[in-house]
């Protein structure tokens, strides 16, 4: 039986931030970044093989959040961003369970760095984005992750509604 620490899901109480976690609503993320977090969690869950039968379809969710015309392109950008981040790390990336209404209100430390990387890249603050990338990649090369973030940021600049 796998150890509970092997799970990519956070291990704290449902809906209550643990050490170095925060609530999504107080994290300073804009509408696009909150929707991106929702979709990235589904992507990571599918890749980890933790998708229950009742889970929403990731493509349909992306189209609902980002619009029918641009949803596919944004989903591709989010997938590349999440995959690049995952390949750049040694340790397991912990994220909140996207299928639990309480847990999904909490932003894990890793999710915070990932979303702040995107947040700063969308605002042209490459140095700040790089700091978060270095933490996420555990001081390993970050160029690929910064490129994926830049590509995604170019799809939805700050102040634009993706729909």
Q: Where are the domains of the chain?
A: 17-155
> What is the C-alpha to C-alpha distance for residues 142 and 148, in angstroms, rounded to an integer?
10
- Residue 95 phi/psi, 5-degree rounding, is -135, 160
pLDDT band with cut points at 50, 70 and 90 for residue 25: very high
Give the residue from 43, 69, 71, 70 showing the smallest Cα distance to 56. Answer: 43
Residue 102's pLDDT is 93
The DSSP bridge partners found for residue 106 are 23
Q: Using the predicted structure, report yes or no on whether residue 3 has a pLDDT greater than 70.
A: no
> What is the C-alpha to C-alpha distance for residues 127 and 106, in angstroms, rounded to an integer?
26
């Amino acid at each position: 039986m796998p150890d509970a620490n092997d799970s990519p899901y956070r291990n704290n109480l449902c809906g209550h931030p643990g050490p170095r976690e925060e609530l999504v609503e107080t994290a300073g993320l804009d509408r696009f970044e909150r929707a991106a977090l929702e979709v990235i969690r589904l992507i990571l869950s599918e890749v980890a093989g933790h998708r229950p039968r009742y889970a929403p379809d990731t493509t349909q969710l992306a189209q609902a959040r980002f619009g029918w015309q641009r949803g596919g392109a944004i989903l591709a950008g989010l997938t590349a961003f999440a995959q690049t981040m995952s390949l750049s790390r040694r340790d397991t990336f912990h994220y909140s369970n996207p299928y639990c209404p309480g847990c999904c209100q909490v932003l894990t430390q890793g999710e915070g760095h990932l979303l702040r990387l995107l947040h700063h890249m969308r605002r042209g603050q490459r140095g700040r984005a790089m700091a978060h990338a270095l933490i996420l990649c555990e001081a390993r090369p970050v160029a690929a992750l910064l490129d994926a973030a830049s590509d995604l940021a170019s799809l939805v600049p700050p102040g634009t509604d993706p729909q």
